Structure 1
Amino acid sequence: MRPLRLELRGFTAFREEQVIDFGDADYFALVGPTGAGKSTVIDAICFALYGSVPRLNDRRAVAPVISQGGIEARVRFDFSLGDSTYSAVRVVTKDAKGGASTGEARLERDGEVLAGTANELSREVERLLGLPFDHFTRCVVLPQGEFARFLHDNRTDRQGLLVKLLRLGIYKDMGEAARRRAQEAEDRVEHLQARLDGDLAFATKQALDEAKARWARLEGLRDEVEKARPRLDDLSAGVSEAHETVARLDGLSASLAAVVVPPDVAELADRLTHLSKLMHEAEDELEAAEHKTTDAERDLDALPPRDPVVAALNGHEDRGQLAAEARTQRTAESSARDIEQAARRAFEDAEVALETALGARDDARAANAAHDLAGSLAPGEPCPVCLQVVEHLPTAQAAPELERAGAVLVKASEAKAEAQRRLGEASGARSAVEGRLQLLESQIAAHDERLRDGPGHTEAKALLASIDSAGVLLEGARQDVKAARAGHKKLTGDLRNLKAVEQSGRQSFEALRDRLIPLEPPPRAGSDLAADWTELVAWAGSTGPEVAGKAEGARHKADELSNERATLMQGLEASCRDCEVDLAGAGLEPAVVAALTRAEGLVDRLEEGLK
């Protein structure tokens, strides 16, 4: 038989589907840490072929092969035998009562179905391989318990185990058969030689009676040995089985004694609990920070945009400045009007004074016409009165009245010109103030138009304060979210690393628990590794004495069976000595058969001689 492919799903340690391809391998080794599932691969092959697992006490038990928490286990094993390819499939399903049964089993050869039930599959495999389950687990697959027993047995027991595992007893049987045949041949030769020699002098009636009597006793001895043989075989098988049971129970006792809580499990559980608590707190903190951020964003979204509010507030402040300037300009306008009116009155007074001075001058001219005319003459120019060219200016004294009137007129003209200049300045100043005021009022009106539908100055200041406050709160909330996420990320990494350590511890626990499966250890508590260890230790403490007691009982049974077999053998050997059967160098049955053959030959010779 050559393995080709193994498929597992839900089978003990292999919860998920696993495929092992042996197709291209002439030799292979299963390598991995304890608990990795190496033995489970061998168990799966045995289960696919025979429907039993070597490590389980009860060959009929199938429920233990289903992975913890699963409801079905499926195994398919492809192998070649000769020129044909075979596929053995078994599917075990849990029932409503917590038990399990093989719901599907079949054996196919190159697509042809050879067996369709669990029993048919097992029988067909035995027929194909020529090995029942017990022989297969001794000749092809060496179970861990047998190997441990082999390592710890003494030399004699190891030799016996090897003889049993390798079926070397057949050579002992062959030797006994050969010796029996040799003895028979030797007896026949002696018989024939005696006849050839004609040595029948001893043939007497008494000798014949004695020979027949011994022959009868030997037949009785043969019957006694044949009758005892089934019991001897049962006792031998019982002793062997009891020794196997002792070895298995001793191994389980050693495994139970090794069940102790690792020193770091409790600390690991405390750290996991603490980290889990911190993780929940961090998740709550992150959720609260995110809610706070959402609330802050909602509050900020409920407020108007900041830029329009800032623009409105700046517009109100600009309008305030314009209004203040407008108030100043109105005051300046009033003052400019007063100054202009005063300047206008001064100008009007200057005009009146000038008209008066002109009248006075005209009067003075009229009174002093000659003096006035003389003053207007110029040499070479015609006289305005006589139209004669003036050659010489007349010499006459000036008229004081005329000079005073002229001086007053000049002064009045200058005063009017100054009053006119001042009036112009006052009017210009007043016009400039009015122009600036009109511009300010236009700008104020434009601001009022822009600000008409917006918030007032006080409202805009309050809105801007609310917007800035909401922005600060939002930024703080976002910083809180950032810090909470960083803390949550770190705790997530720490928790993941710690769970990896726990998973490694869980694998060690599962490996130890798997070795105790035959004793049906308590089910796992769940994800609490410390609780699982505590319960397993408590169970091991209570189960250990029971297993030790069973081992002691098995030893006692082995001793009883060995003693009974020894007693039975001693009785048979005593009977052999009574019948003068030589047991040296031969087994019990071959010696009895040889003696019986010789006795029969002796009777024949004696009867022949008496004839």
Structure 2
Amino acid sequence: MRLHRLEITAFGPYRNRQVVDFDALGGDGLFLLHGDTGAGKTTLLDAVAFALYGSVPGARNDAKRLRCDTADDDVATKVVLELTVQGQRLLLERSPEYQRPKKRGEGFTTQQAKASLTWLDGVPTGQPPEGLTRIDEVGRTVQRLLGMSVEQFFQVVMLPQGEFARFLRADTAEREKLLERLFGTQRFADVETWFVQRRRERGREVEAQTLEVRDLLARVAQVSASEPGEDEQGWLEEVEKRAVREWEGAQAEHSRLRRERDAAETALAERRELADRVRRVRQANATLAELEERKPQHDAWRAEREAAQRAVPVLAARQAVQRAEQARERAGADVVAAAQRCSDVDAEAPLDELRALAGRDRESAGALAQLVPEAQQQESDRERLAGLAERIAADERTEAELAQRQQALPERITAARQQVDEAKHAEVRLETVVSRVEELSALLQAARELPRHEREFADATTRAQQAVDAHQQARDRLQDLRARRLAGMAAELARRLAPGQPCPVCGSAEHPAPAEPVDDQVSADDEDAAQQEEQRAQARREQAATEAQRARQARDRLAERLGEHTEQGLATELAELTAERDALRRTAGELRQRTELLAELEASTERISAQLTDVRSRLAASRSERTSLETTVDERELRLREARGDHPSIAARREHLLGAAANLDRLVDARIARDDADGRLAEQRQALRDAAAEAGFESVEAALAAERGEARLAELADALAEAEQRAAGARDALASPELFGVDADAEVGLEQATEAATLAREAAERAAAMAHRAEQRHRDIAQLAERLRAAWARLGPVLAEFAELEALADVVNGRGQNARRMSLRSYVLAARLEEVAVAATRRLQRMSDGRYSFVHSDAAGARGTRGGLGLDVLDDYSGKVRPAKTLSGGESFLASLSLALGLADVVAAETGGALLDTLFIDEGFGTLDADTLDLVMDTLDELRAGGRVVGLVSHVEEMRQRIGVRLRVRKSREGSTLELRTA
């Protein structure tokens, strides 16, 4: 990294624009930023850091006050830095966030931070040619190019005042924090954390399996009712054996008590059988005695049943009387109903008189029969008159409609001729419009394809540019390899030399000092491969250029074809023409229909005239027929009105007469039926009295009183049958061989046998329960023992693995067998610090004239604290190592500067970042005497080797004079000094 130019505006103490030309200042490799205290020397370094990373070193970054307080409101704060990193020259511009007065109104508004990166000598591959404008993208790009973080940059490039003096005197913890930021040892901290987390996870697994073993032991102890001793496996075997013995003993006891239970239950069954026979004898005797006591009741039930059976014929006769009475009532009701229909005659008149009235009505109805056809014809003629009226009205409406159509026909024919002409014109116009629509469609398609061709042209141009860059890179690599091969050609020839063989260059057979191959020797194969790659890159370049040319030609053809047309205009015009085309197509398609309509209208003139003549002739005939028919209907109506009387029609009067005759006939029939019903009722009543006497009853009422319902008869039958069955059953039981000779008064003694059987059964049940519990306990102990042994088998390897992991985690984290109490991260930092001490010792010995050297210590700290980051000083005058805190002020500056330079070398080598061509050292030179300052300046001269530029920051006047003198001595010219004054 080399700085070229710095521009700051309204930044820190600088209210106006200031420019620092580092190319002019660092032309001799050494320059001084000189000024009074507070003049703004460190601010320039802050500006460089802010331009690169957007932050400033140390505590100044926490203040967030980078804008100059005295700057004008319209002057924006910004920092512009031009530099070269890894062969890329770029321009960085940044503005911090700050508060500025509002342009309108009162108060302040926040000016947001901004950043930009611009490439000055070619855009790298993969980067946008316009540069970067996002703050995060600029930050990532700068850090990638420099290869280090902001903390590493502040320690490697800008050696801040006082920082390394504090680092020199710091304790282990503070020194560890700084080294962690510089060397990025987070991955080793992640390893430590991984071991801790892994140990915690495995510990949880071990704890879970241990808890499982303990739980199984507790369950075995609970089941066996015994506690485990020190020998848990032996205790488990003893528990299993004891469970087997208890189970076998319980089974034997259960078998013995079960036999005793069976014997007691057999004796109880025999006693129960004897008791049952005695009970049955007693029950049979009691049943016979009870039936004997209830014999009068049973005799009364039998008499009641017999009387009910004798009354059955009487009941049947009574039902016949009831049916005759019902028939008499129905016949009387029929007479009343028939009399009501014949209300104009006496219902009780003689039957012959009623028959005569019916005959007279029938004769009158017969006389009206001949007038019924005339009445029907009268109705037909009336309907015909109504039809004629409707037909005359319809023909009148048709006549009016035809006359109206005949009047409107000329106008419709004229309109139809105009529509036919319009369709013919549309057919002619359609061809022109269709052609124009096709033309506009093609242009619109071209307009829509133009953006795609422009994108393809842009992509092809980009690919062509990338191919040019790739070809250029391949060509540069080929030239570089050729140059390196020419440089190492002597070594390549030296490999072909053999003792005693002449040299192909000088011819000598002796080869005292053949050239050695360089570290990165280039072979002919490497050069051939690079040449082939360059040729392939050239072919890709030519192909990309051809594709770009084709894409440009395609785009140009489309653009030329479109001319001034736009996609929107073409779309609008096409939509209008498409609508017109569709309308013309519809109109032209109706030409045939419109022509046929015109012909139809022209032909309808004569047809309507003929139809009008026919309608008028038919209308005259209908009117004449209606007049004649009306005369006939009126004459017939006079005769029919006299014949129907008060009735609506002849048929109605005839129906009335016939109905009256029928009603009289029904009245006669009803009176005859009523007389017959009276005779039958008297006969059935006499038959009822005869039936009661034949059944042995004194009267009909006594016979009816003996009636019993089916339920009562069934009840009597069931009760008598039950009594007979009980008596027969009791006699059969007493006569059976099983109960023969059984004494009803004998005592059985069933309670003692029952008690003995109950005791034996309970004892057997308890023994069965104990045997079941012993078996269950034996089975549970066997299952738990199997699970416990499996858990022991799983726990053993897990415990061994956890012990190994725990010991390794302790060592990695600085505990356990780690005697130095150093964690892995501390160990890595100690190795880096040891490298820093070696690099810093070379500088310190030169600046201290060989007196002081750094000594790294990895011993543990006091009271067991972590070690590995100790840093002391070896005093060559005394030969003893002493703490760095005992150095004087000037000696501390030398040690701090040496440590800073050594740390910068190690960090730069560690990060593998860009070559650091610019270095700044801020303050501290005022504490040195003249001789020591010369030694320091000699050391700084060495830093300029290889083109490095060293910038010193100091307010000491002697520094300016010494730098000028040293440069005049070396190059006979004045040194570069930047004078700073307070803004």
Q: TM-score, normalised by structure 1?
A: 0.28
Q: Tell me: higher relative CO, structure 1 or 2? Use CA pairs within 8 A at least 6 residues apart.
A: 2
TM-score, normalised by the number of residues in structure 2: 0.18
